[in-house]
Amino acid sequence: MNAMRLLLTVMSLGAMIAVAPANPSPKHGIAMHGEPQLPPDFKHFPYVNPDAPQGGRLRLPVTGSFDSLNPFIIRGQAAMGIRNYVFEGLMARNRDEPFALYGLLAETLEVNEDRSKVTFKLRKEARFSDGKPLTAKDVLFSLKILHENGRPNHRYYYSKVIKADVPDDHTVTLHLQPGDRELVLILGLMPILPAHVFETRRFDETTLEPLVGSGPYMIADVEPGKFVSLRRNPDYWGKDLAVSRGRWNFDEVRYQYYRDNLTSFLDLQNREVDLAEENDPVRWSQGYGFADKTGGDFIREVVPVKLPKPLSAFVFNSRREIFKDKTVREALTFAFDFEWANTNLFHNQFERTNGYYDGSILSSIGRPASQLERALLSDAGGKVRDSILDGSYRVPVSDGSGKDRHNLKKALGLLKQAGWQLQGRTLVNTASGEAISFEMVVQNKEQEKIALHYQRSLKLIGIAMSIRLVDSAQFQRRLQTYDFDMLPFVWFNSLSPGNEQHFYWGSAGRTQEGTRNYMGIAEPAIDRMIDQLLKARDQKGFVATVRALDRLLIEGHYLLPLYHAPGKWIGRWKNIQFPKRHSLYGLLPETGWAVPGK
């Protein structure tokens, strides 16, 4: 192909690009802050076994269903594994650093000082699984199609690309909207799609026809709603790269779908499933007695995770009239008795969640706001109460009785401030006389159990909360369209939160379907803080900005924080092995291997 110059006019510049060095040098990797930890000649990631044997099969359970093999669009429920096993980005993430990437499809990158321009040099040996070479044309196609038809987070990220220059088949230079230092890394992780495949098929529709990627696996077999089987590509172009060594060892990775967790647990006992992450504390503490009868063939372990704890919560949909008032949302947090639930429902296996980044250096809990944080909050126009500023704030703690009078009285006091008052045994609006009521939507029995506990507590203060159990497809549709009053959800944050925070908490998500702003947050101070987070140049400023964001989110009482496990509860059969040293993310299936005959 002749040298060409393609312009992608995705959005107007809106600001002058800052002057930067004309000729930055090619680099093997990039970190969000500082320099990447691994040198140019590194041999493999530190959490893999470079000598792991290859072969065998890994069967993983998934609760729910799927009706599509396309994970890049909002339509349908995509099957698990395809994004990570079948498709690749220009660079690969080292899971042992907060956010650092190393060359994959791109051998090197060149970035100017303010990160408003990046050049990726593609590896000439890169191939899709159908044998077609991967070139700059595919990178531009992916950027364009995901910006136009991808998920909302893709459309948001890639709208910040101003133009693209393509001097040859293996070079792409992207000019970026200034002020977002993470965008270069986001583009490095962009899934690269085959332009030649989508010349004859639509991208924006759900499909059960296998997609073609450049990754180590291919979609081999599918039964809708039952399983998807991924087969390792014996001709995978990147198998000898340092970022691949010790990974992708199974010949087959098979995701098996189950209607409920109990059925998948029974298959785990019967060796129809090889490994499972347990989420039920009762089953974890009492249900694994069968392991003692296996002669050591079944392993039960708690794998530590060094990321912020998962944010599990009941979501208040502030788009609904009943939850528009922050005082009402705060009042309802006093009606949840975690201490009773942990003792009586969870065998004391959980710890309480207080904020959005618990268990990490990024959390504001227990840490007084620094002068830098206070300045950031002031500049953003954010107002935070003293207990949140000084780090002493905690979600309400009960006496464990299941009917803590002090907390329930506090709830009623706040509700009275918001215009609600008890009449007999019913809480009514003092202006309209209308009784308070709303619905909790859940998708499985585990969620229903904790919802029933909350329902009983709310009844004590005159609130009628109904519970609706729906299947996974209905639950997903309600999530995407925000069609609910209240529901449970879990967010997962990294040690380097960035652009996805707009997708989680940004004001656009109040009206734009398909984001994870299920609460309907529309707070300018939060938007400004996320923008500031993306501009941070050093670790100190970055940490201060995330903590300030944490304080703003806590202040808004947009959700009722629930609880988290101390680590990942993992049950696996001994024939599935992993390196002794795990990454910051804990156990990663891609680093495992099968031991024959066990």
Separation of alpha carbons 532 and 526, rounded Å: 10
Strands 100-103 and 106-111: unpaired
Contact 397, 353 (CB under 8 A): no
Q: Which amino acid is residue 408, in one-letter code?
A: L
Structure tokens at 565: 């496990």
Report the 10 Å Cβ neighbour count for 363.
20
Asked if residue 3 has pLDDT above 60, the reply is no
CA 324 to chain centre: 26
Instruction: Yes or no: say if 219 and 93 are a contact pair by the CB < 8 Å rule.
Output: no
Q: What is the structure's pLDDT at 499?
A: 87
Helix (H, G, I), strand (E, B) or coil at 58: strand
Q: pLDDT digits over 361-396, tens only?
A: 999 999 999 999 999 999 999 999 999 999 999 999
pLDDT (tens digit, 9 = 90+) per residue, 260-300?
899 999 999 999 999 999 989 999 999 999 999 999 999 99
Is residue 11's pLDDT more than 70? no
Question: 275, 248, 298: which is closest to 53 by C-alpha?
Answer: 248
Please answer whether residues 443 and 261 qualify as being in contact, where contact means their C-beta atoms are separated by less than 8 angstroms: no
Average pLDDT over residues 550-573: 97
| pLDDT (0 to 100) of residue 53 | 96
Inform me whether the pLDDT recorded for 1 exceeds 70: no
pLDDT at 369: 98
Q: Is the pLDDT of residue 18 over 60?
A: no
The label of the residue with tokens 């191939």 reads: 127
Banded model confidence at residue 355, pLDDT cuts 50, 70, 90: very high
Could you give the maximum distance between any two Cα atoms of the chain, in Å? 81
Mean residue pLDDT of the chain comes to 93
Given phi > 0 = left and psi -120 to 50 = alpha, else beta, which region is 456? alpha
Distances (CA, A) of 72 to 91, 151, 160, 233, 458: 18, 6, 18, 22, 40
Joined tokens for residue 404? 């803590």
Q: What is the per-residue pLDDT for 597?
A: 66
What is the phi/psi pair of residue 590, to 5°?
Answer: -65, -15
Name the amino acid, one letter, at 346.
F
Percent above pLDDT 90 for the chain: 88
Tens of pLDDT, residues 126-181:
999 999 999 999 999 999 999 999 988 889 889 999 999 999 999 999 999 998 89
For position 152, what pLDDT does the model report? 84
**Element at 466 (helix H, strand E):** strand 464-469
Q: What is the pLDDT at residue 486?
A: 98
Per-residue confidence (pLDDT) for residue 596, from 0 to 100: 81
- Structural domains of the chain ordered from first start: 217-306+567-594 (3.40.190.10), 311-564 (3.10.105.10)
Is the predicted pLDDT of residue 233 greater than 90, yes or no? Answer: yes
Contacts of 378 (CB under 8 A, 6+ apart): none
What pLDDT does 277 receive?
A: 96
Structure letter (DSSP) for residue 268: H
Residue 5 pLDDT grade (very low, low, confident, very high; cuts 50, 70, 90): very low
How many C-beta neighbours within 10 Å does residue 101 have? 27
Residue 66 is predicted with a pLDDT of: 94
User: 7: closest CA among 193, 212, 144?
Assistant: 144
Binned at pLDDT 50, 70 and 90, residue 19 comes out as very low
Asked if pLDDT for residue 245 goes beyond 50, the answer is: yes
- Strands, E assignment, 373-463: 420-423, 426-429, 437-442
Asked if pLDDT for residue 22 goes beyond 80, the answer is no
User: For position 203, what pLDDT does the model report?
Assistant: 93
DSSP 423-439: ETTEEEETTT-PBPEEE
| pLDDT at residue 9 greater than cutoff 50 | no
- Say if residue 20's pLDDT is above 90: no
127 neighbors 133 (Cβ within 8 angstroms): yes
Look at residue 156 in the predicted model and tell me its pLDDT.
86
Contact 253, 589 (CB under 8 A): yes
